[in-house]
């Protein structure tokens, strides 16, 4: 079996760490990268460096942002009475693109999954409780927008129990999203319908 240059092998190893990319695809990407003009490779590398050095978490909602406060949280036109709790930035993007929600967000950083080691203490659930418990907030409804599966149900139940003594309405997305589906891959119409038909938790 022919050996490949070490630099190409190293690039392939990095691509192999991307979710959904296997060793063969990673090697294809590495060869694609090395075949590009040097200026294009430099732009690619600079874009990756910018991600590592120029992105931080919004201190309000936890979304990835290039500033201390993200664009959504900084928007004075948002409905401050509604807070949508999502698992990831990707889920927030899909909800936002649906146009069905004009409130603010809180990103947990995942869903409860003890088998994978994702317990409540590694998610930003405590920060959520602090946020909705603050005396200076105007939140009247918390929408739990999680995948309609075992992990999403477990996370919603846990949060609902933590918030049961607060005088805030709690709702979940309607089952317009099929069981087992992921919000990240849902089309915008399905997400919009799920918001319109959400139910009390």
37 inside domain:
yes
Q: How far apart are CA 78 and CA 101, in angstroms?
A: 9
Q: Tens of pLDDT along the chain (201 residues)?
A: 358 899 999 999 999 999 999 999 999 999 999 999 999 999 999 999 988 888 899 999 999 999 999 999 999 999 999 999 999 999 999 999 999 999 999 999 999 998 888 999 999 999 999 999 988 889 999 999 999 888 999 999 999 999 998 889 999 987 777 777 788 888 887 888 788 777 777
Number of structural domains found in the chain: 2
Q: Are residues 84 and 40 in the same domain?
A: no
Residue with token string 């998610």 = 123
Domain membership of residue 175 as a residue range: 75-200
Residue 24 sits in the same domain as residue 104:
no
| C-alpha distances out from residue 201 to 28, 31, 133, Å | 47, 51, 18
User: Full-prediction pTM beyond 0.85?
Assistant: no
């Amino acid at each position: 079996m022919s050996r490949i240059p070490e630099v190409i092998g190293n690039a392939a190893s990095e691509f192999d760490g991307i979710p959904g990319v296997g060793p063969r695809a990673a090697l294809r990407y590495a060869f694609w990268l090395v075949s590009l003009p040097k200026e294009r490779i430099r732009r690619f590398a600079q874009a990756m460096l910018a991600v590592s050095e120029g992105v931080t978490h919004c201190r309000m909602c936890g979304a990835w942002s290039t500033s201390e406060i993200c664009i959504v949280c900084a928007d004075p036109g948002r409905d401050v009475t509604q807070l949508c709790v999502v698992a990831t930035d990707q889920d927030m993007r899909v909800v936002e693109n649906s146009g069905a929600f004009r409130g603010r967000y809180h990103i947990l950083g995942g869903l409860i999954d003890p088998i994978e080691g994702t317990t409540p203490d590694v998610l930003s659930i405590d920060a959520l409780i602090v946020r909705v418990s603050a005396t200076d907030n105007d939140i009247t409804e918390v929408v739990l927008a999680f995948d309609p599966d075992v992990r999403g149900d477990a996370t919603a139940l846990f949060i609902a129990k933590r918030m049961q003594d607060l005088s805030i309405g709690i709702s979940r997305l309607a089952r317009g999203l099929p069981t087992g589906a992921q919000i990240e891959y849902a089309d915008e119409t399905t997400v919009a319908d799920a918001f319109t038909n959400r139910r009390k938790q």
